Structure formats: C-alpha cells, structure tokens
Structure 1
Amino acid sequence: MKTHIKNIKTIFLLGVVLSSLFGFTQSGEENRQKADKGYAIGDVITDFKLRSTSGSFVSMADNRSVKGYIIVFTCNHCPFSKAYESRIMALDKKFASQGYPVIAINPNDPSAYEEDSFENMQVVAKAKGYTFPYLQDESQLTSKAFGVSRTPSVYVVKKEGDKFILQYIGGIDDNTQDANAVTKRYVEDAINNLLAGRPVVGNFTKTVGCAVKWKGV
C-alpha cells in the first residue's frame, strides 16, 4: 500500500514537472510569434530607403523638419485601397503642413498582380496627382518589419530626437465603403492628439483590406 501511494506521488510530481516544462515552452512560442508580427506601439522604427515613383529613393530621415509621418501601406489593385485613395490624399493635404506628411508604400509582389508593378504605380501616382511619395518595397523587408498583413494599413510615427516612435497601428476610419458615412476617424484623431501634446488613446484598430501578396507564397 505504501509503495502504491509512493508511486502515485512520483507520477503526480512527474506530471507537474512536465506541465511546467510544457507551459514554459508554450509561453516561449507565444512570445516568438508576437515578435514575428512586427512593431508594437512604442517601438523605435528602423528607417528604410525605398524607391519612389519619382525615381528617387526616400527615407524618413530625408525630411528633418517633420514631427512624424503617416505611413500607409497600400497598393493599386486592392478595391479597399482604391476606396481610400482620396482619403489618403486628404490626410496628406491636411497634416503635411502641420508636420505629419504621408508616405505610401506598396508591399505587394508585383508578379501576383501586374497592376501593382512599379510602372503602374507611376501611372497611378501621376493620374491621381499624389502629393506624397509612393514607394515600392521590392524586397518586402520593410513591410515584414512593420508586420503588415493587409492593405491599406496605417502606422503613425512620432519623431523624438533622431528616432521615430510608433504611436498608432490600424485603419484610417470606420467605413471603408462610404467616406460620407464615417463616424470615427482613427488616424485624424491620433494626429490631433499628438499635435496637442496628448497621448494617442485609441492606438490600435483592426485593419480591413486585401491580404499582402508575399513573394514565394
């Protein structure tokens, strides 16, 4: 009887140890997955240098007078991106003069959609009269660093010294289909808070759009 109880205790203790080890492993895996998702609010953003439709290469450090940027990952083919074209242009028109210009980046593999080729990016930028740089992330390394999964997605960054700190991640507003029916302007609210010296309260919203087309997938 004593031997039986001792065996039960041994099995119980072994189970506890195994459970602890499994829990530790699972926790480590969860942390790794979170890290793979890209930047989080408060992170310092690594600068990039990407080709613009103008032919020049653009980075965040190019403009020393900015207070930050509205970085929009968008593209040509996606109907959600097309629906937001005029609103992205309006954001640049409203906030560029206040220190928060737009930088648009196309994260897609152009072989997946010919419409997203660099040449077609140039056509769209010229036809629409973009007042902001429209960049091609040819290597897709910048898009992966940000953790972009859909277009359009917005990342608002604030300049602090020579660093750019992430302040907002998500959508532009709460109505993709009808700009006149928008009730919540997420990006505008974020920028207005920053300009007023206040923290961004709603600093994350769900992004609705087209999945990014990755190379080799």
Structure 2
Amino acid sequence: MKKSIFIRSAATAFLCFVLFNYTLANTPKAEGYKVGDQAISFQLKNVDGKMVSPADYQSAKGFIVVFTCNTCPYSKLYESRIEALNQKYASKGYPVLAINSNDMTKQPGDSFEEMVKTSNAGEYSFPYLYDESQEIATAYGATKTPHVYVLEKNKKNLQVKYIGAIDNNARDEKSATDKYVENAVDALLANKPVSTTSTKAIGCTIKWKEA
C-alpha cells in the first residue's frame, strides 16, 4: 500500500516537473514593453525575400506593428481589418508591419512558405515579416496573434503609444464599438494624447520554440 502511494506521489511530482518545464519553454523570456517605452528596431525577411526594417521608411511618422500568423482563427478574422488599417494609414505616415513569430515546427502552417501563400492570397499591401528567431516577439512582449503595437517615430527612436487588440469585437467587425488602433493613430496624427493606451490582446498564443 505504502509502495503504491509512493509510486503515485513520484509520478505526480514528475508530471508537475514536466509541465513546469514545458510552461517555461513556451513562455517569453522577457516581459516586453510598456506604453511609453522605447522599442527596438528590427530587420526581418519579407515574403518577397527582401529584408525590411522600420529604418527603410524615412518619411514615416510611426508604425502599426501587428504580430499575427497564417493559422490562428483570430488572425484570419482580422486579416481584412489589418489590410484596411494599412490602406487607411500608410499614406498618412503609419504603415502596417505584420510579423509572424510562430515556431513552424509546432505550427507547420506558419512556415515562411505558407506565409508567402497567405500574403499572395490576401493580396497584402503591407510587409509580412518572418521573426524566425522569435527575438522580436520576445523583446516586444507579444503573446497573442494578433497583438498590436502602435509606435511613434521620434527622430531615430520608436516610442510605444498603444499595445493590445485592434478593436473590441473579433468576430464581427461591424459590431465593434471601440476601434482601439484607429483611435490611437488618429490621436497621434492630431497631436493629441492617446485615450486608451492598452487593452487585452485577444487571439491564439504565440507558439514558442523549446528552450
């Protein structure tokens, strides 16, 4: 009897150990940015094979950085809205830079090759960049797809002005009553404070590499 209890206890302890280490392996190693922080720049491969960086956009006033992917249902729901953001704001100085950070070994549908197909099928007007090392998602603190960071360019610096969701209704765009990203960019363009600076990003968890 005592032996049976010992075996069950040992098995439970081992399971807890495995789950704990699995959680650590699938959790970002940095807390990421808060509103007001200076964000790092980056240079990542676009679906056209070219390297793209915020530094390439000399006349930009800022950026709408969207961590997204090919496979997440929420990313698919927001696909047309992300395109609409670029159509509306790129010419005003706030282009969209979309980034896929998912580990393709865990999510084969998020490979670079599939990114190219997704971009072509959706006729994206914005760069769709591959964060293969996951360094940018980790630095920014992105955890979901989609997860948005609105950045304002100040000389050579990128200051975080908004973090979170695109709007308050993932399933029905027409029913969205708070368009967080649009409101943030509109405020910045008008030289006004952003009223809502952070919201909870709703979506699928980013698929992290094993430690």
TM-score by length of 1: 0.83
Equivalent residue, structure 2, for 1:134:
128
More helix by share: 1
1:113 to 107, 115, 120: 107
- Give the drift of 1:45: 1.0
Aligned residue pairs, count: 183
2:140 is aligned to: 146
Deviation at 1:107, TM superposition (A): 1.1
Measured in 1, the distance between the counterparts of 2:201 and 2:108 equals 24
Task: Provide the C-alpha distance between the structure 1 equivalents of 2:195 and 2:175, rounded to a whole number of angstroms.
Answer: 23
Alignment partner, residue 165 of structure 1: 159
> Does 2:66 correspond to 1:59?
no
Tell me the alpha carbon deviations over residues 179-217 of structure 1, each in whole angstroms, 9 at most, x when there is no partner.
111111000000000000001110000111000100016
Distance 1:212 1:76 in 2: 12
Among all aligned residue pairs of Structure 1 and Structure 2, give the percentage whose two residues are the same amino acid: 49
> Where do residues 1-217 of structure 1 align in structure 2 (5 Å cutoff)?
36-216=30-210
| TM-superposition CA deviations, 1:15-45 (whole Å, max 9, x none) | xxxxxxxxxxxxxxxxxxxx93101111111
Given residue 177 of structure 1, which amino acid in structure 2 is its aligned partner?
A: R
* Distance in 1 (alpha carbons) for counterparts of 2:34 and 2:202: 18
- Which structure has more RCO (C-alpha within 8 Å, separation ≥ 6)? 2
Secondary structure of 1:36's counterpart equals: coil
Q: Deviations over 1:108-161 (max 9, x none)?
A: 001111110000000010111100000010000010000011110000000011
- Looking at structure 1, the residues matched to 167 and 123 of structure 2 have their Cα atoms a distance apart, in angstroms, of 22
Residue type matched to 2:163 in 1?
I
The one-letter code sitting in structure 2 at the alignment partner of 1:94 is K
The C-alpha deviation readout for 1:70-105, integer Å capped at 9, x for no partner, is 000000010000000000000000000000000000
Q: Which amino acid aligns with 2:68?
A: T
Q: Which amino acid aligns with 2:31?
A: K
**Aligned counterparts of 2:114 and 2:171: Cα–Cα separation in 1:** 24
**Separation of aligned partners in 1, 2:86 and 2:195:** 22
Structure of higher CA gyration radius: 1
Aligned AA (2:199): T
What TM-score, normalized to structure 2?
Answer: 0.85
The equivalent of 2:25 in structure 1 is none
Give ranges in structure 1 of 5+ residues lacking alignment: 1-34
Counterpart residue identity of residue 121, structure 2: A
| SS, match of residue 184 in structure 1 | coil
